[in-house]
Amino acid sequence: MRTVKLIRVTAEAPTVKSFAFNDGLCSKAEPGQFVMVWIPTVDEVPMSLSLLNSTRGQAAITVERVGEATEALHNMKAGDSIGVRGPFGNNYTISRASKVMIVGGGTGLASLASLAEKLTKEGTKITFLMGAKRKSGLLFHARIGSVLSKAKGRLIAATEDGSYGQRSLVTKSAEKLFKRGEKFSMIYTCGPEKMMVKMLHLAEKFHVPFEASLERFMRCAIGLCGTCVIGKYRVCRDGPIFSGQQLLEVEDEFGCWRRGFDGRKTRV
Ligand SMILES: Cc1cc2nc3c(=O)[nH]c(=O)nc-3n(C[C@H](O)[C@H](O)[C@H](O)COP(=O)(O)OP(=O)(O)OC[C@H]3O[C@@H](n4cnc5c(N)ncnc54)[C@H](O)[C@@H]3O)c2cc1C
Ligand code: FES
């Protein structure tokens, strides 16, 4: 584990903040990889990297306040220290010079923002759909919009209360594009598991290769403890990015169950 100092804390939404730090290894990570973040005296939790800037040696995580560890992190400021282990896990497959769909919600948008940045550098045409309950939950809207505008990409926002973009579930907005006959060579998704399940079904129906980033409780992050198991896979070692084919093998758990720290299954 390396100890790093926070260099910038940015409020992204009422319950979400980004924390930037200098770390050579994290800054060179690939989109989709995650780190274990140690919050001194509290806990160590998995977080996706939301910013990868290898030229300046900077990286960032984007954290939603949901419990004890994330609350403690939200109370930290620039100059405070955290510990980082990693980066761990696999990354999204970079699909070159094709037309892809990216669908995200909540802090799932963290890893998808850096994916969009990488894909546009490869010349990939992106249709990016982001969803939230309300406008304030549309994380990285400006950042993603600016990346896509330079590469003739398209950004579609959907909110459940209609406060911004289409009044719709983001999966419904995605389905409309397929029903209009639009073709994509890949779907990437990260966000609430029910949303990702729906996207997997669309990918199956319209025969599109698919990748999703999964979250499970984690302890070791290196494939040893079994806390993050889903079917025959360990999310920290075999994921967090899984293909559609792999997710169909664990259909009875994906979108239904996750294991708690005591190994018992709880509803997703
Ligand atoms: C690979 C991966 C990447 C992640 N990336 C992000 C991210 O970019 N931003 C973000 O805000 N969150 C991310 N998470 C989820 C994050 O790890 C949890 O929200 C965090 O651990 C909660 O800790 P807590 O003590 O604040 O909450 P707790 O009080 O421990 O739990 C609150 C809720 O958070 C979830 N949770 C708790 N611990 C874990 C854990 N170790 N792994 C997964 N879920 C957990 C559970 O649903 C629980 O009900 C990621 C998880 C994984 C596995
Ligand atoms: S967290 Fe220990 S095996 Fe994945």
Residues 123-180 pLDDT 10s: 999 999 999 999 999 999 999 999 999 888 999 999 999 999 999 999 999 999 999 9
Query: Does 77 have pLDDT greater than 80?
Result: yes
Ligand nearest the Cα of residue 235 is: 2
What residue ranges line ligand 1, CB within 6 angstroms? 34, 43, 45-48, 61-64, 66-70, 107, 110, 215-218, 240
- E-strand ranges in the chain read 2-13, 16-22, 34-39, 43-53, 58-64, 81-88, 99-105, 125-132, 154-159, 166-167, 186-190, 210-213, 229-230, 233-234, 241-243, 257-259, 265-267
> 264: burial class by Cβ within 10 Å (0-12, 13-18, 19+)?
exposed
Residue 105, pLDDT > 80, answer yes
- By the 8 A CB rule, do 51 and 12 touch? no
Q: Does ligand 2 have an atom closer than 6 angstroms to the CB of 214?
A: no
Residue 226 CA: nearest ligand 2 atom is: 3
**Rounded Cα–Cα distance for residues 82 and 3 (Å):** 6
Angle between helices 170-179 and 193-205 (to 10 degrees): 10
Q: Read off the tokens for 112.
A: 């998808």
C-alpha 94, offset from chain centre:
15
Using a pLDDT cut of 90, give the percent of the chain over it: 91
- Among 70, 242, 266, the mutation site with the greatest number of ligand 1 atoms within 8 A of its Cβ is 70
Residue 97: pLDDT band (50, 70, 90) is: low
- Give the helix/strand (H/E) hosting 69: helix 68-74
Mean of the pLDDT values across residues 206-211? Answer: 97
Supply the pLDDT for residue 158.
97
